Amino acid sequence: MTKLNNIQMVDLQLQYERLKSDIDNGISEVISSAKFINGPTVSNFATNLAKYLNVKHVIPCANGTDALQIALMAAGIEPGDEVITPNFTFIATVEVVALLQAKPVLVDVNPDDFTININELKKLITPKTKAIVPVHLFGQCANMKEIMELAKKHNLLVIEDCAQSIGTDHYWGDKPQKAGTMGDFGCTSFFPSKNLGCYGDGGALYTNDDELASIAKSITNHGSTVKYHHDRIGVNSRLDSIQAAILNVKLKQLDDFNRRRQAAAIFYDHQLGIIEQIETPAKQDFSDHTYHQYTIKVPKGENLKLQAYLKEKGVPAMVYYPIPLHKQKAFEKWTDSREFPVSDELAERVLSLPMHTELKKEELTYICDTIKDYFNGK
């Protein structure tokens, strides 16, 4: 096999080349208008995204971590409250809970779709529990029907972390609903490598609740709705106009971006599904998958070895996440010495392969053949 040298984990340069003229125009319009902060591009984008998601309110903010923090603040989470989150996720989901001096209650995940284990979750609800933060990990939704039923029964708020799943459909009832629009809040990120990424930092909250929306909006703006009148403690968290201009162009492409990711995933599924040692990503019938990551499982302890082999052959691959939260120093005090066997096992088994909107067939073939060679050589 001839070695391919330019395979990227995420290729944002080629994507920009395809969209260059629209993006460049959007950026220069903002610069000419000099409306850099809270300009019309930002409100346009919020309106466009709300329409796309079929949600009542979209509140842009500075990044996905802020979106989560602002949602918790708007939901009235106070010191000592318990907030249930999965243990296998990006740290931001849990960090903001601790930052507000609430108690993160970590829950192990399902071995197949890596989302929060609802049976385990049930056992951890106490009178102090105020909210659940499910994460729609790698582009696939957690089971929102079960989570919402549980939340209703125990009077809990649900804040969906949909940073990795913008545009994913969840099937529930007669029509699909977008990730992030089923709970009290959805929180997303426009970090460049996300499925809808800008060229810097950005984020947004979604909600169908008018009151929560107005509280969250005021929190993003120093707790203010009328200039220099501050009703509550807030933060300064804005999406800037240049990023909104880029997102306005890219939002129109989001379905196409996600289809391109899905096409690459189908190719991987076919090629890798026949390798005995590999488990390809599980697909749930209640959710689409938009493959923020295409994550395979290999035999225990094999993920780092395969990663090193691939690297030698010019194929980048990443372990998301190598250290589950219960093993992070910062979270030591919140595990109550409970065990998280699934997260522990996943850390030694998962490997995410190159996944983006510009993958060529030649590249996919090379990646799959290289993986086949690795297992054949054993």
Q: Is residue 291 part of the contact set for ligand PLP (CB under 6 A)? A: no
Q: Is residue 191 part of the contact set for ligand PLP (CB under 6 A)? A: yes
E strands, 41-161, in order: 57-61, 82-86, 103-107, 129-132, 157-161
By beta-carbon proximity to ligand PLP, the closer residue of 241 and 370 is: 241
Q: How far is the CB of 133 from ligand PLP (least distance, A)?
A: 9
Q: Which residue is nearest to ligand PLP (CB)?
A: 64
By beta-carbon proximity to ligand PLP, the closer residue of 95 and 344 is: 95
Scan residues 196-215 and list those touching ligand PLP (CB under 6 A). 201, 203
Coil vs helix vs strand at 103: strand
Give the residue, chosen from 15, 41, 93, 129, that forms a contact with ligand PLP under the rule CB under 6 A.
93
Q: Is 2 exposed, middle or buried (0-12, 13-18, 19+ CB in 10 A)?
A: exposed
Residue 127 tokens read as 């009178």
Please name the amino acid found at residue 90.
F
Residues 65, 96: contact at Cβ < 8 Å?
yes
By beta-carbon proximity to ligand PLP, the closer residue of 84 and 371 is: 84
By beta-carbon proximity to ligand PLP, the closer residue of 192 and 316 is: 192
Q: How far is the CB of 195 from ligand PLP (least distance, A)?
A: 10
Coil vs helix vs strand at 240: strand
Please name the amino acid found at residue 110.
N
Q: Is residue 290 part of the contact set for ligand PLP (CB under 6 A)? A: no
By beta-carbon proximity to ligand PLP, the closer residue of 198 and 317 is: 198
By beta-carbon proximity to ligand PLP, the closer residue of 93 and 343 is: 93
Q: How far is the CB of 161 from ligand PLP (least distance, A)?
A: 5
With tokens 């053949």, the residue in question is: 369
Give the residue, chosen from 10, 58, 133, 135, that forms a contact with ligand PLP under the rule CB under 6 A.
135
| CB atoms closer than 10 angstroms to residue 347 | 19
How far apart are the C-alpha atoms of 283 and 2, rounded to whole Å? 33
Tell me the β-bridge partners of 240. Answer: 37
How far apart are the C-alpha atoms of 224 and 230, rounded to whole Å? 5
Q: How many residues does the structure list for the chain?
A: 378
Residue 224 tokens read as 């203010």
Q: What is the largest CA-CA distance in the chain?
A: 69
Give the residue, chosen from 7, 70, 74, 90, that forms a contact with ligand PLP under the rule CB under 6 A.
90
Q: Is residue 65 part of the contact set for ligand PLP (CB under 6 A)? A: yes
Give the residue, chosen from 26, 39, 60, 64, that forms a contact with ligand PLP under the rule CB under 6 A.
64
By beta-carbon proximity to ligand PLP, the closer residue of 137 and 351 is: 137
How far apart are the C-alpha atoms of 240 and 60, rounded to whole Å? 9
Q: Is residue 366 part of the contact set for ligand PLP (CB under 6 A)? A: no
By beta-carbon proximity to ligand PLP, the closer residue of 82 and 95 is: 95
260 contacts: CB under 8 Å, gap ≥ 6: 357, 358, 359
Residues 30, 36: contact at Cβ < 8 Å?
yes
Binding residue count for ligand PLP, defined by CB under 6 A: 15
Q: Is residue 89 part of the contact set for ligand PLP (CB under 6 A)? A: yes
Q: How far is the CB of 135 from ligand PLP (least distance, A)?
A: 5
Please name the amino acid found at residue 191.
F
Q: How far is the CB of 96 from ligand PLP (least distance, A)?
A: 9
For residue 249, the number of C-alpha atoms closer than 13 Å in the C-beta half-sphere is 21
> What would the x/- binding string for ligand PLP be over residues 156 to 175, using CB under 6 A?
-----x-xx-----------
Give the residue, chosen from 140, 189, 195, 343, that forms a contact with ligand PLP under the rule CB under 6 A.
189
Chain residues in the site for ligand PLP (CB under 6 A): 63-65, 89-90, 92-93, 135, 161, 163-164, 189, 191, 201, 203
